[in-house]
Amino acid sequence: MKFIIQRDYLVQSVQDVMKAVSSRTTVPILTGIKIVAHTEGVTLTGSDSDISIESFIPAEENEKEIVEIHQTGSVVLQAKFFSEIVKKLPKEIVEIEVGNHYSTVIRSGKAEFNLNGQDAEEYPHLPQIEEENIYKMPTDLIKAMIRQTVFAVSTSETRPILTGVNWKLENGELVCIATDSHRLALRKAPIHSHQNGSYNVVIPGKSLSELSKILDDTNEPVEIVFTESQVLFKAKNLLFFSRLLDGNYPDTSRLIPADSKTNLTLNSKDFLQAIDRASLLAKEARNNVVKLSTLTNSMIEISSNSPEIGKVSEEIQAEEVEGEELKISFSAKYVMDALKALEGTEINVNFTGAMRPFVIRTTTDDSMLQLILPVRTY
Amino acid sequence: MKFIIQRDYLVQSVQDVMKAVSSRTTVPILTGIKIVAHTEGVTLTGSDSDISIESFIPAEENEKEIVEIHQTGSVVLQAKFFSEIVKKLPKEIVEIEVGNHYSTVIRSGKAEFNLNGQDAEEYPHLPQIEEENIYKMPTDLIKAMIRQTVFAVSTSETRPILTGVNWKLENGELVCIATDSHRLALRKAPIHSHQNGSYNVVIPGKSLSELSKILDDTNEPVEIVFTESQVLFKAKNLLFFSRLLDGNYPDTSRLIPADSKTNLTLNSKDFLQAIDRASLLAKEARNNVVKLSTLTNSMIEISSNSPEIGKVSEEIQAEEVEGEELKISFSAKYVMDALKALEGTEINVNFTGAMRPFVIRTTTDDSMLQLILPVRTY
């Protein structure tokens, strides 16, 4: 294998596949990046078994030569060193050549690296996915759907299925749901497909976070293909594979209350900042619990009390307070996470009593909701 | 105590004194910030016994009112909570009032915090320093002298005196020296004083790092006062006290070779980047050692070899190579630290053999030098 490549394309591509490479793997060759030079260009692959990423650097793009292939072939190089090296190469042009025993020379300007490589045949094959049912969604919409749900997945392995996000596709709609059993995030959006199939899968939260980092902020469509055990996302010059989680995701629809007894309409930023301030003293007490009380004249009070440190209270003018009086305690962190995810300026909060889950929505967009379980403090 | 203050001044002042506050202290009250309101303004103090910082907020500055004192007095508030709170207050104006049992109310807009305070009389007194011998130096020069030496102090407590920087004042000159016994950094500069005294003290590296962070980038003079056990830096509205280290600093003057056998003149950036690249593979082998060899035609080679990973070599065109041929090994980190500290574009490196310390200077400024001990690899 021998090729000459534009450094910046190589750096970007290595950075992308590195998102799948883990130093803590039980399969030693997966600490490497697979490099394949073929006549159309160079393909890099990184994988940690759960996530696999393939990045393609075309020989030519927009009539500009990016890679000059002198000899096709392949090698696996230690990801950690290879990625550090390409970032720090002195010149715009890089030559990579594999010699005897996979010993690989990386040349740029007067700098010459020799890295011990491995046989690419030893590298696990990526899953073969038959592209029967292809769904399409704009890149920025996928990123928004991930951002607005993935933070709510469980970080505990007690119920592994809750470490993933539930993706349900039916009737041209995608519904994403994440819950750690203390709070739930839901976002839905239309999705495009030529088929009428339906899917109900659970994608590991970590996979979605990595996917989100690797996707550009464009509205170009991403293709999505599901199989029994894998999901594949196809963007320009990029394949992103993730395994799916085994098991059935709990039915969350009955968790969302249909009616409410107290309804607030208020400015999201005011609410967020008041909770943030109240949580300053609550954080220390570990539970991070703050209290909300309705007052008269559409005022609400956010407060917190940590006897050893002190206490804090703040009044906020709501735009509307409707229904029964209420005193309720909740995790400041969960409500702040939810408000940040909603990204709205004006929000509705619907309560059905101090012991029941409450729902936060923006006043303008009903495609997303955040549900939070209160904390019992009485 | 009761006063009303501009939040931004309070935030800056709290941030400054926080640099001296440690959560790991054996004196519980030092986890707090002392606040004193007097007729001229408000004084904040933070201390960890080694470093003490006093920041003064004047009642009025440039005919603008900053603090409105309603009642003089004092209190000590938990630094961690107080500093978080002031940063997140909703309005520009803050009211602070001490009530019964040092319970302190912090009000801003509709947010009201109650913090349990402590009696300021319990707070240790700052050292009393008689201002007999006052030295003066521009702020930016002090910061440069610290930056160019403090990185070379020892991080090991085996020889505690080496964790400090040796400051020698004599004949209107300040010489700063730091060494961890593997490398040495030296910087000198003229210093202004009306007296003819001389001082030879050792200031903890940590104190100087914190001082450097807290000083602005101006050329306003800072006053420096030494006593037996303390040094005081006085800047505008700021007092910075540090204890001095006990013991005699080793005489380092005999370490610096007077003659040399091989002399290089080369571009600092080229040299730094080649060493950086060579160290990519050397880092793994823990010792981070790279090798320099002189070649013909004023070329030098930087190389490194880690049998399990690979090897790297790079040739650099020096501006001049003069004297004996040389092969020498050294810590990539130490040489990179030294080159960054020198901040020069063109440097001289003077060697007296593969086993002897070598010296790096810029070609334009002889007020600073960096000395490095080689690593024996043969």
User: pLDDT digits over A285-337, tens only?
Assistant: 667 899 999 999 999 999 999 888 899 999 999 999 999 999 999 999 999 99
B311: nearest CB among A78, A114, A276? A114
Chain B residues in contact with A23 (beta carbon < 8 A)? none
* Per-residue pLDDT at A5 exceeds 70: yes
B81: nearest CB among A85, A309, A313? A309
pLDDT of residue B252: 92
Q: What's the whole-number mean pLDDT along residues B247-272?
A: 94
Q: What's the whole-number mean pLDDT along residues B123-138?
A: 88
| A310/B112 touch (CB, cutoff 8 Å), yes or no | no
pLDDT of residue B348: 97
| B314/A88 touch (CB, cutoff 8 Å), yes or no | no
User: Are B174 and B148 within 8 A, CB to CB?
Assistant: no
DSSP letters for B176-213: EEEE-SSEEEEEEEE-EESS---EEEEEEHHHHHHHHH
pLDDT of residue B378: 53
* Per-residue pLDDT at A216 exceeds 80: yes
pLDDT-derived band at A147 (thresholds 50, 70, 90) equals very high
A313: nearest CB among B112, B274, B310? B112
Q: How many CB atoms lie within 10 A of CB A61?
A: 14
B314: nearest CB among A111, A273, A315? A111
- The continuous run of DSSP H or E covering A142 comes out as helix A139-147
User: What is the rounded distance in angstroms from the CA atom of residue B258 to the CA atom of residue B350?
Assistant: 10
User: Are B186 and B369 within 8 A, CB to CB?
Assistant: yes
Q: How many CB atoms lie within 10 A of CB B11?
A: 16
Length of chain A, in residues: 378
User: What is the rounded distance in angstroms from the CA atom of residue B132 to the CA atom of residue B197?
Assistant: 11
What is the radius of gyration, based on Cα positions, of chain B? 25
Q: What is the mean pLDDT of chain A?
A: 94
Q: What's the whole-number mean pLDDT along residues B251-256?
A: 91
pLDDT of residue A237: 95
Which class in CATH covers the domain with range A134-253?
alpha beta
- B81 interfacial to chain A (CB closer than 8 Å): yes
Which residue in A115, A124, A118, A37 sits closest to A82, CA to CA? A115
Chain B residues in contact with A312 (beta carbon < 8 A)? 111-114
User: What is the rounded distance in angstroms from the CA atom of residue B275 to the CA atom of residue B267?
Assistant: 13
User: What is the rounded distance in angstroms from the CA atom of residue A181 to the CA atom of residue A159?
Assistant: 10
Across B251-268, b (16+ Cβ under 10 Å) vs e yields: ebeebebeebbbbbebbb
* Per-residue pLDDT at B147 exceeds 70: yes
Tell me, yes or no, if the two domains A2-122 and A256-372 fold the same way.
no
Burial of A298 (0-12, 13-18, 19+ CB in 10 A): middle
pLDDT 10s digits, A344-376: 899 999 999 999 999 999 999 999 999 999 998
pLDDT 10s digits, A89-134: 999 999 999 999 999 999 999 999 999 999 999 999 988 888 778 9
User: What is the rounded distance in angstroms from the CA atom of residue A339 to the CA atom of residue A274?
Assistant: 12
A116: nearest CB among B110, B280, B309? B309
User: Are B30 and B228 within 8 A, CB to CB?
Assistant: no
| Strand ranges (E), A66-161 | 67-71, 73-78, 93-98, 103-108, 111-116, 134-138
pLDDT of residue B376: 83
Q: Which A residues in the span 152-171 are in contact with B, Cβ-Cβ below 8 Å?
A: none
Burial of B116 (0-12, 13-18, 19+ CB in 10 A): middle
Q: How far is B312 from chain A (nearest CA, A)?
A: 4
pLDDT 10s digits, B41-75: 999 999 999 999 999 999 999 999 999 999 999 99
User: Are B81 and B115 within 8 A, CB to CB?
Assistant: yes
Angle formed by the axes of helices A268-282 and A332-342, to 10°? 150
**What values do phi and psi take at B210, rounded to 5?**
-65, -40
Q: What is the mean pLDDT of chain B?
A: 94
Residue with tokens 């534009």: A6
Chain A residues in contact with B315 (beta carbon < 8 A)? 110
- B91 interfacial to chain A (CB closer than 8 Å): no
Three-class SS state of B77? strand
pLDDT of residue B246: 95
pLDDT of residue B162: 97
Q: What's the whole-number mean pLDDT along residues A144-157?
A: 96
Q: What's the whole-number mean pLDDT along residues A201-230?
A: 95
pLDDT of residue B284: 67
- B312 interfacial to chain A (CB closer than 8 Å): yes
Question: Which option is the CATH number for B256-372: 3.30.470.20, 3.70.10.10, 3.90.420.10, 1.10.15.40?
Answer: 3.70.10.10
Which residue in A111, A106, A61 sits closest to A83, CA to CA? A106
Q: Which of A191-200, B100-109, B266-275, B309-318 has the weakest average pLDDT? A: A191-200
B112: nearest CB among A88, A116, A314? A314
Task: Give the residue extent of every domain in chain B.
Answer: 2-122, 134-253, 256-372
Q: How far is A231 from chain B (nearest CA, A)?
A: 35
- B101 interfacial to chain A (CB closer than 8 Å): no
| B85/A277 touch (CB, cutoff 8 Å), yes or no | yes
CA distances from B315 to A81, A186, A260, A322, B347 (A): 21, 58, 74, 76, 17
State the Cα angle at A88 between A87 and A93, rounded to 5°.
80
The CATH classification number of B2-122 equals 3.10.150.10
Compute the Cα dihedral for B180, B186, B187, B192 and give only its sign: positive
Q: How far is B81 from chain A (nearest CA, A)?
A: 7
Q: What's the whole-number mean pLDDT along residues B169-196?
A: 93
pLDDT-derived band at B215 (thresholds 50, 70, 90) equals very high
Which residue in B80, B115, B25, B107 sits closest to A308, CA to CA? B115
Which residue in A253, A255, A218 sits closest to A238, CA to CA? A218
By C-alpha distance, the chain A residue nearest B307 is A116
Three-class SS state of A128? coil
- B310 interfacial to chain A (CB closer than 8 Å): yes
Q: What is the largest CA-CA distance in chain A?
A: 82
Chain B residues in contact with A115 (beta carbon < 8 A)? 309-310
Q: What's the whole-number mean pLDDT along residues A47-75?
A: 96
pLDDT of residue B285: 63
